[in-house]
């Protein structure tokens, strides 16, 4: 159950970095959705290592295979299982980590919690686990597209101390994918890429911020009180490796406004109720209000760096560790599609929940 | 199910602002816990309206009654139901809101989602719903105290643009409760109180930031991958009314550091593995590492203000609304105990989950 | 969580026999359902002790009070909490049971599991807990009635070794309620009542069998593979106190037929696919097929009898126990409405689940 | 979620009869359990088609592969995914079923529910789905064996109208496996085998009854009120294809006894509280009492028979169907290991739940 997410459109992921495979089962997928492995692959390719010169050079084809749930090109309503075999493993690169805990990594906590761990490449704590999320997210995104022309778009707004100017328009996918860093502002993207290469050259790492927007969200998604839409989004985002913060709409900056400045005035937008501004970020009372969903996620710098660091070993004795292996100097660009995946999963799940309670019976 | 929280120590809340009552059922509470209504009342009194001159003057005794689950002063392991009757209702104060949507409030989204709503005082979307959370949280906090001398301490660090200096020491409860605003830095607290009174005089409102720390947390709480401790805390916090952001440890500021600056070096602390710094905020790989848990929550300014605001009515026609009623000009001081409650609930739940998987069988 | 039932239309019950109250929260109730306390009361009155001369003489008004979730006569979509205060308690009648375990009762297992128990009247293990189920079931039954003219009808077919002839027609509510024993075959009912009085006179007890039928069930309720409709019905029934068996359609007798005798032939029934016979009991592959739902539940004789019985005490020493107190010599007649309640809860929940997956999106 | 079972030791199965594979993810498996694919294979071999001359001649190696969760021969506490590739498919054998509904099979209900179905070999409704259950059950059984020398033993007591005499002793695995029909009474087994061959020769089928016993169960497993041990067992059993009934302990026969005859007297059994008789079947108040767990499951005759049967087609027109393909004339012998698997899954799950609530904190 800790490895499942969603209540009606539920995914369960499995797999570790250097085990045989990673994968996912989607339970509750609506039937008759046209679906091909190629569509899933397109999203996996955006997550794949080795896709550009600012990511890890680890080579993984990450080819997805349907194990069940699709018949004659359509989903059957039965569990949709998808598998990606792991390849290009150099387990020897992790021998040192068997005995030493990498600072700010999950090595110590997993060992303490379970009494043992698969130390190769971080095992289950590796971001490789997100392969299953991205595959399932591709299904969710297709449902959103077909159901309501809903577009989920994430992009990088900050890398280290470099920030892009605010985006007034909804960026296109092409704009996001135009640069390896996935910042749709070309001049800023160039600076970001330069910074990432610079820190990598020193064996160091940087973090950043991803913004995610969704347009076309129907009114009414999200549930009082614990399963507010922003609560489930926050959980989804903080469940991603390396995340340290989440804010929606005005976020932390909004705490410095007065109510009279912060409130979003309601207006009639061509027959529907809308708001003039969007400090709410598309949710009010935990429920989508039909405006664009807007939130941001903060990622810390990659914990595994190639510099020597002090640490302790399995016996608690002080030692030094200099990681080898092939690591991303910055996880943020590859995380863009993961943020999109988790967002789509939350939305489809809440859509189904909303329909179940409010559209099933009429009185 | 949307009104339940937790997997093993599960709470289900009910009730709306001006209905007959608010309450909670705690399912999964361990047996034999000594428990009195007076202990619950102590936390409810910290949440109660009318407790100081910077909160709403609404008068509610908020007296808790055990409906089940306690026998001869101890919990029985059966559902613990707790009830608080609503009082001091002036439903007439909300007549106008029956027809008009308050900006940045849940009025519109509830109406759109359910087709009807209890408009009196916000109904279920009112923060009055948190009475049940605080009552259940008081149980969870007692468990933590008895089980491991674990202390959960939340306090106000920002109101509007007034920030307290960083707290190097773990604040005592007395320090937090010393001021009505619950900021343990007296000089800052005085400024905050003055600011709240000032905006209230103009019918306006302000927001702020709460920091929460927990000391004594055992190593090993939190689950890969979706139920990371910080993911469940983020969900818990974003499920609170008026919250717009969550960050743990270094948070968004940490995204501007390099890996070599951000990583927490492991050291041997008198026989246990610890870290020199705590930018991780007490979690690594989603699992508690034994250091202090540290996170922050951002609250927007209260949506209901006493100034005239543009809005639309049920038919979508433009109109103006000037709220009446008794509202908090700033919800943050009263939210302190709610943040503590949700934190304690997350910790007890994860403790039980950890024990179930990792302590039940020995191989 | 052990005290909750249902995934989308979820109930959580609380309360013990001699505590302050019993009650229930219904989470996920569709909004706008017209609902009054009187409608709930009607079902509670069918469950109430003291309703006839073959039930316990314990007097309980069992008056229900809405604690939340109804506004201006309609459900709001928010949690619907319902409370029944306990009355007429004679705790002294249970003093002996504090020290001695009643044979075939939950006294020993609760003590062993929790380390303590509320011994008064069985505490949580008492059938008094089903008050909350019946109240919630009344809501579910109203939904079924309004949504599809679906009727849930349970009735007694066996008491001790007295069996009613098979009912070829769907019994009316009036026929069931015509006798205190709730067997719609008057001659058999008279014999059953005589038998119950006879065993009561000797301080003994008897069990029996309830049949439940539902007509008007839409095709498609139930889910592969673990949440088959019959699996959830079986769980619902075996969760009732004193039940020892469940069978659907042909049941155990069906195991003695050949496939060629047992199969239900499909025919076209005025434009819909139907079956000529109904050995399937209304489900095929775990999913309702549109035929009448038919199943049976076996109840053991009441464990608490007024004869002296050998047993052991808290210290494991042999002793003798002769129960006092007011107990039903046969729980079966009062269980009829409880069986109906659980059945309705299963059906509404599955209806919502079916709609969520299969009616929300169209491709 | 409909394809998941268990709350803490949770399994999620996937796969259909003639799709690429069937499999399972076990989430919540305790770490450090020694586990090999060979151990899983042993149970799969007992479920495998083609294992004897009274089962379907379909040939499937059913070789299991670990996809994740085991490292250096031990479970890691992370999701344990297991895969079995489907082989020996003759989809042509099912062409006729694409258009015609097999009587008493899931063909019609799946089509009605989902709007489409994978008709090959029953798709997801096929008993082939139970491969994943058996694989996961093998893990659960090993945990029980190591944790408490708990033995789960199912065996056939009835085939068609042939019944074995009551088993006073707990049958050994060797006794059960001694005959192809898995009835540990050799003379009866011979008759059963003869009967199965006889009906198969006529293209017909028979059903039967399986009894399951568990010895060594600790006191305290099972939860009031909805998750009683017998309720979860009933659900587990009725979730199996072809099951029509469940009874525990005295079962339906017990409804014909008086309370004074039915009650199990408590006695001191060498220092522990036990019962003289076991009509309760090992549970009281929904909680295990330390006696042997005893229950029975009724299976209907296989729906797919090789005789011509009346039915309707996709358009509702009357037609005739004579199934081809390779089908079991009696599913009961192969179901023995499936019953054991589900039983073990329920027990491990409840053991973990019990420990979480009652063993985690001490007051």
Give a three-class secondary structure readout of B207-258: CEEEEEEEECCCCCCCCCCCCCHHHHHHHHHHCCCCEEEEEECCHHHHCCCE
ipTM: 0.97
Share the mean pLDDT of chain A.
95
Tell me whether residues C360 and A357 touch, CB distance under 8 A: no
Tell me whether residues B2 and C27 touch, CB distance under 8 A: yes
In what helix (H) or strand (E) does residue D27 lie, and over which residues does it extend? Answer: strand D21-27
Distance CA D265, CA D267 (A): 6
The two three-digit tokens of residue A343, written as one number: 């967002």
Tell me whether residues C79 and B116 touch, CB distance under 8 A: no
Contact C124/B78 with Cβ under 8 angstroms?
yes
Q: In chain B, which residues have their Cβ closer than 8 Å to the Cβ of C118?
A: 71, 76, 78
Go through D103-125 and write b for each residue having 16 or more CB atoms within 10 A of its CB, e for each that does not.
bbbbbbbbbbbbbbbbbbbbbbb
Q: How far is CA D162 from CA C155, C250, D153, D207, D292, in A?
A: 32, 18, 21, 10, 25
The two three-digit tokens of residue D101, written as one number: 């509904």
Contact B13/B23 with Cβ under 8 angstroms?
yes
Contact B78/C16 with Cβ under 8 angstroms?
yes
The mean per-residue pLDDT over the stretch B180-209 comes to: 97
pLDDT, residue D148, reads 85
The two three-digit tokens of residue C81, written as one number: 């909490």
pLDDT, residue D109, reads 97
pLDDT, residue D34, reads 98
Q: Is the pLDDT of residue C90 over 70?
A: no
Ranges of each domain in chain A: 4-358
Contact D326/D204 with Cβ under 8 angstroms?
no
Could you read off the pLDDT of C250-308 as tens digits, one per residue?
Answer: 999 999 999 999 999 999 999 999 999 999 999 999 999 999 999 999 999 999 999 99
Q: Is the pLDDT of residue A60 over 90?
A: no
Q: In chain D, which residues have their Cβ closer than 8 Å to the Cβ of A77?
A: 113-114
Question: Has C359 been labeled as part of a binding site?
Answer: no
* Positive/negative CA dihedral, B221, B227, B231, B237: negative
C285 → chain D, closest CA residue = D106
Q: Is the pLDDT of residue D144 over 90?
A: yes
Distance CA D74, CA D35 (A): 6
Q: In what order do the strands lie in the sheet with A4-5?
A: A4-5, A10-15, A21-27, A80-85, A64-68
Contact D11/D26 with Cβ under 8 angstroms?
yes
Shortest alpha-carbon distance between residue A296 and chain C (Å):
29
The two three-digit tokens of residue D171, written as one number: 């049958």
- The answer to whether domain D4-358 has CATH 3.60.150.10 is yes
Rg value, chain A, Cα:
21
Contact C76/C68 with Cβ under 8 angstroms?
no
Least confident of B115-124, C202-211, D26-35: B115-124
pLDDT, residue A1, reads 73
Could you read off the pLDDT of B112-123 as tens digits, one per residue?
Answer: 999 998 888 889
Contact B287/B351 with Cβ under 8 angstroms?
no
CB proximity D191 to C under 8 Å: no
Least confident of C77-91, C255-269, D19-33, D171-185: C77-91
Shortest alpha-carbon distance between residue C301 and chain B (Å):
26
Tell me whether residues D363 and B33 touch, CB distance under 8 A: yes
D349 → chain A, closest CA residue = A1
Question: What residues have CB less than 8 Å from B139, skipping those under 6 apart?
Answer: B26, B29, B33, B35, B40, B75, B80
Distance CA D363, CA D347 (A): 26
Task: Mark which residues 221-260 of C lie under 8 Å from D by CB.
Answer: 222-228, 230-239, 241, 243-252, 254-260
Distance CA A331, CA A200 (A): 12
Chain D interface test: which of C159, C218, C263, C355 (most D C-beta within 10 Å): C263
The two three-digit tokens of residue D110, written as one number: 């799946």
Q: How many CB pairs under 8 A join C and D?
A: 373
pLDDT, residue B106, reads 95
* Residue D245 main-chain phi, psi, to 5 deg: -160, 155
Instruction: Could you list the beta-strand ranges (E) of A53-133.
Output: 64-68, 70-71, 74-75, 80-85
CB atoms within 10 A of CB A271: 7
CB proximity A32 to B under 8 Å: no
CB proximity B309 to A under 8 Å: yes
Length of chain A: 363
CB proximity C79 to B under 8 Å: yes
Question: Has C195 been labeled as part of a binding site?
Answer: no
Shortest alpha-carbon distance between residue A136 and chain B (Å):
14
Tell me whether residues B65 and C20 touch, CB distance under 8 A: yes
Q: Is the pLDDT of residue C88 over 70?
A: no
The residues facing C151 across adjacent strands are: C215
The four Cα atoms D157, D163, D169, D171 give a dihedral, to 10 degrees, of -40
CB proximity A1 to C under 8 Å: no
Determine if the peptide bond prior to B98 is cis (ω within 30°): no
pLDDT, residue B311, reads 95
Tell me whether residues D68 and A19 touch, CB distance under 8 A: yes
Q: Is the pLDDT of residue D88 over 70?
A: no
Query: Crossing angle, helix A229-238 and helix A332-358, to 10 degrees?
Result: 150
The mean per-residue pLDDT over the stretch B116-141 comes to: 93
CB proximity C71 to B under 8 Å: yes
Q: Is the pLDDT of residue D293 over 70?
A: yes
The two three-digit tokens of residue A184, written as one number: 């749709």
pLDDT, residue B90, reads 66
Could you read off the pLDDT of D203-220 as tens digits, one per residue?
Answer: 999 999 999 999 999 999
* Residue B294 main-chain phi, psi, to 5 deg: -140, 120
Contact B74/B34 with Cβ under 8 angstroms?
yes
Query: Pick from A211, A236, A213: which is nearest to A156 by CA?
Result: A211
Q: In chain B, which residues have their Cβ closer than 8 Å to the Cβ of C80?
A: 14
Running DSSP on this structure, what letter comes out for residue C89? -
In what helix (H) or strand (E) does residue D14 lie, and over which residues does it extend? Answer: strand D10-15
Distance CA D133, CA D236 (A): 11
Contact C88/C128 with Cβ under 8 angstroms?
no
CB proximity D73 to A under 8 Å: no
The residues facing C245 across adjacent strands are: C298, D247
Determine what percent of chain A is predicted with pLDDT higher than 90: 88
C148 → chain A, closest CA residue = A361
pLDDT, residue C91, reads 59
The mean per-residue pLDDT over the stretch B116-139 comes to: 93
pLDDT, residue B95, reads 79
Could you read off the pLDDT of A154-173 as tens digits, one per residue?
Answer: 999 999 999 999 999 999 99
pLDDT, residue A91, reads 59
Question: What residues have CB less than 8 Å from C98, skipping those under 6 apart?
Answer: C119
Could you read off the pLDDT of D329-357 as tens digits, one per residue?
Answer: 999 999 999 999 999 999 999 999 999 99
The mean per-residue pLDDT over the stretch B192-202 comes to: 97
Q: Coil, strand or helix: which one is B275? A: strand
Distance CA C94, CA C92 (A): 5
Could you read off the pLDDT of C20-47 as tens digits, one per residue?
Answer: 999 999 999 999 999 999 999 999 999 9
* Residue A248 main-chain phi, psi, to 5 deg: -120, 140
What is the separation, in whole angstroms, between the first and last Cα of chain D?
36
Chain A interface test: which of C348, C356, C362 (most A C-beta within 10 Å): C356
pLDDT, residue C317, reads 94
Helix, strand, coil abundance in chain C, percent, nearest 5: 35, 25, 40
Shortest alpha-carbon distance between residue C298 and chain D (Å):
5
Q: Is B57 exposed, middle or buried (0-12, 13-18, 19+ CB in 10 A)?
A: exposed
Shortest alpha-carbon distance between residue D355 and chain C (Å):
10
* Residue D341 main-chain phi, psi, to 5 deg: -60, -50
Predicted confidence band of residue B326 (pLDDT cuts 50, 70, 90)? confident
Predicted confidence band of residue B30 (pLDDT cuts 50, 70, 90)? very high
Give the DSSP letter string of A266-289.
EEEETTEEEESS-TTTTEETTEE-
Q: In chain B, which residues have their Cβ closer than 8 Å to the Cβ of A321?
A: none
Least confident of A246-250, B159-163, C144-148: C144-148
Q: Is the pLDDT of residue B23 over 70?
A: yes
Shortest alpha-carbon distance between residue A165 and chain C (Å):
38
Q: How far is CA B238 from CA A291, B235, D128, D174, D235, in A?
A: 19, 5, 43, 58, 36
Q: In chain A, which residues have their Cβ closer than 8 Å to the Cβ of D67?
A: 14-15, 19-21, 23, 83
* Residue A186 main-chain phi, psi, to 5 deg: -55, -45
Could you read off the pLDDT of B219-266 as tens digits, one per residue?
Answer: 999 999 999 999 999 999 999 999 999 999 999 999 999 999 999 999
Could you read off the pLDDT of A216-263 as tens digits, one per residue?
Answer: 999 999 999 999 999 999 999 999 999 999 999 999 999 999 999 999
pLDDT, residue B252, reads 98
Tell me whether residues C265 and D311 touch, CB distance under 8 A: yes
Q: In chain D, which residues have their Cβ closer than 8 Å to the Cβ of C275?
A: 103
Q: Is the pLDDT of residue C328 over 80?
A: yes
Q: Is the pLDDT of residue D90 over 70?
A: no
Share the mean pLDDT of chain C.
95
* Residue B180 main-chain phi, psi, to 5 deg: -65, -25
B90 vs C204, higher pLDDT: C204
Go through D302-312 and write b for each residue having 16 or more CB atoms within 10 A of its CB, e for each that does not.
bbbbbeebebb
Residue B318 exposure: Cα atoms within 13 Å on the Cβ side: 8
Q: Coil, strand or helix: which one is B310? A: strand
The mean per-residue pLDDT over the stretch D240-258 comes to: 98
CB proximity B139 to D under 8 Å: no
Go through B98-109 and write b for each residue having 16 or more CB atoms within 10 A of its CB, e for each that does not.
eebbbbbbbbbb
């Amino acid at each position: 159950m800790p490895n499942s997410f969603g209540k009606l459109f539920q995914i369960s992921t499995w797999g570790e970095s250097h085990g045989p495979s990673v994968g996912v089962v989607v339970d509750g997928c609506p039937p008759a959705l046209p679906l091909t492995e190629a569509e899933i692959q397109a999203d996996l390719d955006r997550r794949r290592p080795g896709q550009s010169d600012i990511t890890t050079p680890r080579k993984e084809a990450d080819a997805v295979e349907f194990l069940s749930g699709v018949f004659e090109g359509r989903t059957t309503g039965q569990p949709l299982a998808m598998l990606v075999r792991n390849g290009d493993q150099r387990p020897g690169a992790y021998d040192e980590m068997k005995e030493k805990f990498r600072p700010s990594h999950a090595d110590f906590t997993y060992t303490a919690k379970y009494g043992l761990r698969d130390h190769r490449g971080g095992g289950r704590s590796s971001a490789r686990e997100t392969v299953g999320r991205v595959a399932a997210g591709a299904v969710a995104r297709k449902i959103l597209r077909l159901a309501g022309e809903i577009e989920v778009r994430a992009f990088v707004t900050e890398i280290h101390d470099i920030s892009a100017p605010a985006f007034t328009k909804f960026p296109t996918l092409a704009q996001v994918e135009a640069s390896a860093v996935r910042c749709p502002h070309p001049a800023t993207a160039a600076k970001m890429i330069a910074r990432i290469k610079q820190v990598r050259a020193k064996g160091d790492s940087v973090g950043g911020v991803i913004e995610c927007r969704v347009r076309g969200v129907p009114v009414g998604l999200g549930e009082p009180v614990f399963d507010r839409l922003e609560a489930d989004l926050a959980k989804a985002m903080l469940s991603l490796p390396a995340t340290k913060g989440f804010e929606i709409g005005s976020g932390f900056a909004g705490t410095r406004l007065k109510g009279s400045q912060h409130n979003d005035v309601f207006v009639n937008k061509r027959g529907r109720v809308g708001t003039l501004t969007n400090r709410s970020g598309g949710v009010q009372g935990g429920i989508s209000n039909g405006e664009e969903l807007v939130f941001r996620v903060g990622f810390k710098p990659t914990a595994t760096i190639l510099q020597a660091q002090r640490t302790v070993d399995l016996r608690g004795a002080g030692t030094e560790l200099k990681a080898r292996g092939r690591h991303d100097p910055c996880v943020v660009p590859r995380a863009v599609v993961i943020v999109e995946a988790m967002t789509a999963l939350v939305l489809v799940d809440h859509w189904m929940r909303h329909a179940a309670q409010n559209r099933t019976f009429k009185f």
